[in-house]
Structure 1
Amino acid sequence: MDNEYTPDLYELEDENGVKQTFELLDCMDYEGERYYALTPFFDEEDAAAMLEDSGEVVILKSEFDEETGEEIMASIEDDDLYEKIGNIFMERIEEMFEFDDEDEDGCHDHDCSCGCGHDIPQ
């Protein structure tokens, strides 16, 4: 069984024609619109760039491009809406990566028999 993680990648082009690959962190529908949270993607060859990356999260809105007939990801022009959507995504992302009361060894239960070394009450 292959447990290898395969990220959802999108190559996006900015208003200056510069292309960059992004990894999808999350997407959600809010008030009838679809929004995406993405972060720059670096493959193993770009390890140095990954270390310099600030952990940027880009929030984009789904729009229909009438010229091509396809969905595109576009900037959110309304600053208040951008902030609101950004805050919702940050809460969702923090919850996704939140660790319960997990110890360094990965054990959730201090009274277990997983071999983690925690004392089991007798």
Structure 2
Amino acid sequence: MTEERDDIIVLVDENGEEVEFEHLDTIEMNDSHYVVLLPVSDVEEDEVVILKVEEGEGEEDNLVAVEDEEELNEVFEEFKTRMEDEFDFVDDEE
């Protein structure tokens, strides 16, 4: 039996393939909204995807990649602060 979950969203990748993501958080920062997503797949990667919410036509919003690395890092740091009790974050610095 397939379980239906409210926290799963489906996006279409650059190859036209549907990819499922678990919605972890929505962050409002600097007059913008961002969603933090975790890919739902067989791959054992623990990398989140952060997308910016932009108003689209009508009632639909668009999710777009965050190109500015400083902006992306700022949102990720806020996510880490908010979710420190739920996730174990590992620094990539070696």
Query: What is the TM-score when the length of structure 2 is the normalising length?
Result: 0.75
List alignment gaps of at least 5 residues for structure 2: 88-94
How many residue pairs end up in the alignment? Answer: 85
Query: What is the TM-score when the length of structure 1 is the normalising length?
Result: 0.59
SS in 2 for 1:27: strand
Q: Displaced runs of 4+ in structure 1, greater than 3 A?
A: none
Identify the structure with the greater strand proportion: 2
Match of 2:53 among 56, 62, 65: 62
* Alignment partner of 1:80 is 2:59: no
SS in 2 for 1:77: coil
Q: Deviations over 1:58-85 (max 9, x none)?
A: 111101234x652011100111101111
Q: Bigger relative contact order, structure 1 or 2, given CA contacts below 8 A and separation 6+?
A: 2
Q: Deviations over 1:28-47 (max 9, x none)?
A: 111111111110125xxxxx
SS in 1 for 2:73: helix
Larger Rg over CA atoms:
1
Identify the structure with the greater helix proportion: 1
List alignment gaps of at least 5 residues for structure 1: 1-5, 43-48, 99-122
Give the root-mean-square deviation of aligned CA atoms: 2.4
